[in-house]
């Protein structure tokens, strides 16, 4: 452990302190015998809530939603600044880089086709180290997913959490849609299932793109998709996607007005809601836009907190709330192939040097960066 590497930590300011971005050098572990050490090129400016210790899913990676969580409270203290800062934001779970070294026990027989110098992304496993760093140690090669040379590093860095969770949510929505079509086949064969995607952060923008592609290519293109945009910036981004309707959820309006507006745009109550803006208010609104027997899909990161609050209401409305996990490394490899082949276009994104991390976070909190923000640690392209 005699090697040091640069690390950036983004945290919530503690009492009497305004800065929330720190740069320091940390010791890096030796390469595990059956693992690898990755030289990070790009890292997505994602973060997670620390109120669930084992959660690694990015709540949001986009300016339009980051500002909602900047004033975080009741978080676990940062190990880097014990007693000084609250470690609410630990970015670095979406990384792309090259393999710097392989473990001493890796051979041609067990290297899973990986080699030193290969371009890869890292599936966010449970013990993924917190924080951006120049190097990342991965204990097992099963967490390392190769990427083709045609896939830009900054795009690849957006895939491991945001795109993967959205992919998993769309496939669950597909299962619900298939069941609905089967139930209506005899009585309402021409009635299209309706899906509402809530939020215009990285998760929702991925979900819209993945859903548009998936339903068009799976033979289930008779599905109406609507995006409920939470911010003006997201409204503009969502309208750029073809064959998708958009409704703006202006928080200045009363709830009955927003619900009525949504149903008008959707042509009635919807069958499935994918809610990535999940707060108690958005979930409550989503359920009022949902038909009897409908399903709401939410990230499992917020499910633990919200499911107990809404269990009685979902039973009353005869609706189901389902928590969606981040997905598997195998699914991540599928997402890589589809994005690399341009079958699914990534959301808008901007790349910044890692030295500008403080300015980037400030801009994200003020909704000054459209789409995703990516930090670049090394330039290999």
Q: Please determine, for residue 132, whether its predicted confidence score (pLDDT) is greater than 90.
A: no
Q: What total number of domains does the chain contain? A: 2
Read off the pLDDT of residues 344-363 as tens digits, 9 standing for 90 and up.
999 888 899 988 888 887 78
> Does 141 lie in the same domain as 176?
no
- Structural domain of residue 220, as residue ranges? 163-324
Residue 337, domain member (yes or no):
no
Check whether residue 169 and residue 137 sit in a common domain: no
Residues 291 and 185 in one domain: yes
Whole-number pLDDT of residue 180: 86
Whether 101 is in a domain gets the answer yes
| Region 254-277 average pLDDT | 92
Query: Is 126 in the same domain as 253?
Result: no
> Mean pLDDT in the chain?
79
Same domain? 244 vs 364 = no
297 touches 172 (CB < 8 A): yes
Check whether residue 189 and residue 275 sit in a common domain: yes
Phi-psi region of 324 (alpha: psi -120 to 50; beta: other; left: phi over 0): beta
Mean pLDDT of the 59-75 span:
36
Q: Report whether pLDDT(93) > 70.
A: yes
pLDDT greater than 70 at residue 130: no
CATH code assigned at 14? 3.90.180.10
Spatial neighbors of 59 by CB under 8 A, at least 6 apart, are: 47, 48, 49, 65, 69, 299, 301, 302
Mark whether 306 and 354 lie in a shared domain. no
Least confident of 24-33, 54-63, 159-168, 368-377: 54-63
**pLDDT, average across residues 143-154:** 95
Rounded mean pLDDT of 201-216? Answer: 86
> Does one domain contain both 144 and 196?
no
In this structure, are 292 and 359 located in the same domain? no
Higher pLDDT, 18 or 271: 271
In this structure, the answer to whether residues 188 and 297 fall within a common structural domain is yes
* 61 part of a folded domain: no
Task: Please report the pLDDT score of residue 237 as a whole number.
Answer: 60
CATH number at residue 293: 3.40.50.720
Q: Are residues 313 and 176 part of one domain?
A: yes
Of 35, 8, 42, 148, give the one whose Cα is nearest residue 100.
35
Place of tokens 């007005």: 257
pLDDT of residue 363: 80
Residue 68 lies in a domain: no
Q: Is residue 251 part of a domain?
A: yes
User: Does any domain span residue 274?
Assistant: yes
Q: Is the CB of residue 20 less than 8 Å from the CB of residue 11? A: yes
Q: What number is the average pLDDT over the span 193-207? A: 86
Co-location of 190 and 141 in the same domain: no
């Amino acid at each position: 452990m005699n090697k040091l590497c640069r690390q950036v930590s983004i945290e919530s300011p503690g009492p009497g302190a305004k800065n929330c971005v720190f740069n320091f050098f940390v010791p890096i572990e030796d390469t595990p015998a059956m693992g690898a050490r990755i030289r990070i090129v790009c890292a997505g400016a994602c973060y997670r809530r620390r109120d669930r210790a084992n959660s690694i899913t990015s709540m949001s990676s986009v300016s339009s939603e980051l500002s909602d969580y900047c004033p975080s409270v009741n978080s676990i203290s940062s190990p880097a600044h014990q007693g000084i800062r609250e470690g609410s934001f630990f970015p670095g779970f979406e990384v792309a880089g090259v393999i710097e070294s392989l473990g001493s026990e890796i051979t041609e027989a067990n290297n899973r086709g990986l080699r030193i110098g290969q371009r890869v992304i890292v599936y966010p496993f449970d013990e993924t180290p917190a924080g951006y760093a120049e190097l990342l140690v991965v204990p097992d090669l099963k967490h390392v997913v190769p990427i083709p040379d045609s896939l830009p590093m900054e795009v690849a860095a957006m895939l491991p959490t945001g795109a993967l969770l959205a992919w998993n949510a769309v496939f669950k929505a597909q299962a619900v849609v298939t069941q609905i079509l089967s139930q209506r086949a005899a009585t309402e064969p021409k009635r299209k299932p309706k899906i509402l995607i809530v939020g215009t952060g990285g998760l929702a923008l991925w979900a819209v793109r993945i859903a548009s592609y998936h339903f068009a290519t799976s033979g289930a293109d008779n599905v109406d998709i609507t995006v409920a945009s939470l911010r003006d910036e997201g409204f503009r981004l969502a309208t750029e996607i073809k064959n998708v309707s958009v409704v703006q959820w202006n928080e200045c309006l009363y709830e009955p007005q927003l619900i009525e507006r949504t149903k008008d745009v959707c042509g009635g109550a919807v069958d499935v809601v994918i809610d990535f803006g999940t707060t108690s208010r958005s979930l409550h609104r989503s359920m009022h836009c949902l038909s009897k027997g409908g399903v709401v899909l939410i990230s499992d990161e917020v499910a633990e907190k919200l499911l107990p609050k809404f269990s009685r209401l979902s039973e009353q409305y005869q609706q189901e709330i389902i928590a969606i996990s981040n997905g598997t490394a195998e699914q991540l490899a599928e997402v890589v192939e589809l994005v690399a082949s341009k079958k699914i276009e990534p959301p808008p994104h901007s790349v910044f040097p890692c030295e500008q991390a403080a300015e980037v976070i400030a801009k994200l909190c003020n909704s000054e960066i459209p789409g995703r923000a990516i930090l670049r640690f090394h330039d290999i392209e």
